[in-house]
Structure 1
Amino acid sequence: MKTLKKFFLGLLILLIAMAIIAFFLPREVHVERTASIQAPAKVVFNQVNNLRSWDKWAVWNQMDPDMKVDYKNRGIGKGAAYSWESENPNLGAGTMTITESVPYDSIATTMNFMEEGLSTGYFLFEESGQTTTVTWAFDTDLGYNPIARWMGLLFDSMIGPDFEQGLQNLKIVAETIVQEKRPVVELVNLPAFDFVSIRQTIELEDVSEQMGINYGQLINFINQNDLAMTNMPYAIYHKIDGNLIDLECGIPVNSKVEAQENIQTGTMPAKTYAAADHFGSYDHLEQTHSFIQKWIQNNELQLAGSPMEQYLTDPQKEPDESKWVTAIYYPVN
């Protein structure tokens, strides 16, 4: 009996000692890992900024294929979130939210693990040449819970390997996109702008020739009215009906003027677009259009208008088609 009493007394003293020592252990925990990825920051950033893409690289998202996931605010960019529920005890239930998103530079997140409490995280993207260095970090406040503070000593060894594997998976995903020359689709918000344009229905085989004529007329109109271009020319494909295209050719300008004959003027309202750049000849534009359309469907967005192409390279100044860049925009809700 005395031996048993001594045992419990010793155990009590040990527990008290551990509780006291716990208050001298770090209250805040920081876990951080870094990886170098052979891809532009834009490519890597968008794999993190789109929460649906986490299934492709984040270790936790791959642990339970039956995990229930619900995306909020499109699941993309600042304010986007997803909640999860899993029977896997290592996953449980919780919510993750993107609290800040600075394109190609940084992303901040919060994670609410329900009974586990709230933590914060961030990603930093630093591009140098053809390489992007990605830093993934996790921070949490353990409060005054002595058990949590002891567990905090193990966080780096518990969470760090998942970060390392996740970054390795992210590296594979991003580098594959570059190797396969896949378009990078992202949500962009274009501000309102004034424009001059010509809209007409033309036959498909006449598109290239008619666009050249239309832009020539618009340039003359701009010069005659002392206007200035504020961005590169664009074309909106309002409707395609068999061999006929309802096409609008436009140029952004610095102010509004009165319309004249077949030339329209006005202000394009600010909109949110699913956008991607097409590199190379106009002959293959349809491939990028199809890629964007599929991306919109996969991300459960709704079209809110007609697609627009903006020609960022002037073919008259750059004869090499491989260097041509065309921005393609699909307005979405």
Structure 2
Amino acid sequence: MKVFWKTILVFIGAVIILSAAAFLLPEKVHVERTATIDAPARIVFNQVNDLHCWGKWATWNQIDPEMKVEYINGGVGQESGYHWNNANQQVGNGKLYITRSLPYDSIVVSMDFMKGGLATGYFLFKEDSGKTAVIWAFDTHLGNNPLARWMGLMFDKMMGPDFEKGLANLNTLSKSIIGEQRPVVEIVSLPEVVYAGMKKTVKWENIGAEMGMMYSKISGFLQKNGISVTDMPFTIYHSMSEGEMEIECGLPVNTGFDSTPEITYSKRVAGKYVFGIHVGNYETLEATHTVVQEWITRHGFSVTGGPVEVYLTDPGTEPDPGKWVTNIYYPL
């Protein structure tokens, strides 16, 4: 009996000592891994900023393909997030929100693991010579729970390998986007643009010739009135039907003017736009539009106007159509 009580006392003493020692352990946990991704920052950043992409690279999101996910605010960019539910104890239930998103520079996320507590994660991106250094980090407070304090000593060994694998997956994904020349779609904020514009309903087969004539008339009007062009030409597609479409060709200008029956002084509104880059001949623009449109549908957004094409390359100075760059915008 004395041996029994002596064992109990030793056990109780050990618990007291370990509990007291726990308060000498760090109250905060920090896990961090770094990797160089063989892709520009714009590509890498958007695979993290778009929460729909996490299942392609984040190891936790790949544990159980049956995990139920509900996206918040489209699941892309600042103030978006997702809730997850899963019977698998490795996944459990929780919430993740992007609390800060600075394009191509950094992303901060807050995580609520419900019974598992709260945590903050962040990603830092720095591009150099077409490659991107990425830092992925995780911070949490363990509070005054002695067991949690002792568990905190193992966080780096438990989570570090998942971070390393996730960054390796992110590298593979980003390189595949480059290799397959897939357009990267994102949301951007654009300022107001004042422009001289001309609208016309044209037949599909004549659009190239009609646009050339419209830009020529706008340029002639601006030169005659001493008005300067401040940016690249663009086209707004106001409506489309079988066989024809209503388009508006525009040139950004440095000042206002009185509209004529043919040339109007207009403004392209400031706001958020879904944005994609098309590289190649104008004849293949439709394929990039399709990618952007499918992205909009998948994220649950609604457009508020016709798409805009901004032509960054002058075919007169760049004869190779494969190098022509066109920005595509859909207003939200």
TM range (shorter): over 0.9
Give distance in 2, aligned partners of 1:87 and 1:231.
Answer: 54
The CA deviation at 1:249 is: 0.3
**Offset from partner CA, 1:73-110 (integer Å, 9 cap, x none):** 11111111111111111222111111111111111111
Distance in 2 (CA, whole Å) between partners of 1:331 and 1:34 is 36
> What secondary structure is seen at the aligned counterpart in 2 of 1:276?
strand
CA deviation after TM superposition for structure 1 residue 47, in Å: 0.5
Alignment correspondent of 1:315 = 315
Aligned residue for 1:213? Answer: 213
Query: For residue 135 of structure 1, what is the aligned residue in structure 2?
Result: 135
Give 2:54's aligned residue: 54
Q: TM-score, normalising length from structure 2? A: 0.96
For structure 2, the residue ranges without an aligned partner over 5 or more in a row are none
- Once structures 1 and 2 are overlaid, which stretch shifts more, 53-62 or 295-304? 295-304
Which stretch shifts more, 127-136 or 217-226?
217-226
- Quick check: 1:200–1:247 contact (8 Å CA) kept in 2? yes
Q: What are the residue-to-residue correspondences of 1:56-205 with 2, within 5 Å?
A: 56-205=56-205
Equivalent-residue separation in structure 2 for 1:224 and 1:5 (angstroms): 104
- Partner residue, 1:4: 4
| CA distance in structure 1 between the aligned counterparts of 2:144 and 2:261, rounded to whole angstroms | 75
1:296: which partner in 2? 296
Conservation of the 8 A alpha-carbon contact between 1:310 and 1:327: yes
Aligned letter for 1:194? V
Task: State the one-letter code of the partner of 1:71.
Answer: Y
Q: Which residue is equivalent to 2:33?
A: 33
Q: Distance in 1 between matches of 2:74 and 2:139?
A: 26
Rounded Cα–Cα distance in structure 1 between residues aligned with 2:53 and 2:152:
29
Mapped partners of 1:146, 1:68: distance in 2? 33
Structure 2 counterpart of 1:120, one-letter code: T
Q: Secondary structure at the match of 1:239?
A: strand
- Aligned partner letter, 2:329: Y
> What is the SS of the residue equivalent to 2:148?
helix
Q: Secondary structure at the match of 2:252?
A: strand
Q: Deviation digits for residues 131-151 of structure 1, max 9, x if unmatched?
A: 112111001111222111100
CA contact (8 A) 1:312 1:327 kept: yes
Q: CA deviation at 1:196?
A: 1.1
Contact 1:256 1:267 (C-alpha < 8 Å) held by counterparts: no
Matched residue, 1:286: 286
Which region of structure 1 is more displaced relative to structure 2, 44-53 or 57-66? Answer: 57-66
Structural RMSD (CA) = 1.3
Equivalent residues in 2 for 1:259-274 (5 A)? Answer: 259-274=259-274
Cα distance in 2 for partners of 1:219, 1:148 equals 70
Question: Post-superposition shift, 1:295?
Answer: 1.3
CA contact (8 A) 1:98 1:110 kept: yes
Task: Please tell me the residue identity of whatever aligns with 1:286.
Answer: E
Q: In the TM superposition, what whole-angstrom CA distance separates every residue of 1:3-59 from its partner, at most 9, and x where no partner exists?
A: 111111111111111111111111111101112221111111000000111111111
Q: CA deviation at 1:223?
A: 2.8
Question: Identity of paired residues, percent?
Answer: 48
Counterpart code for 1:206: N
Whichever residue aligns with residue 306 of structure 2, its letter is: S
Specify the code of the residue in structure 2 equivalent to 1:114. M
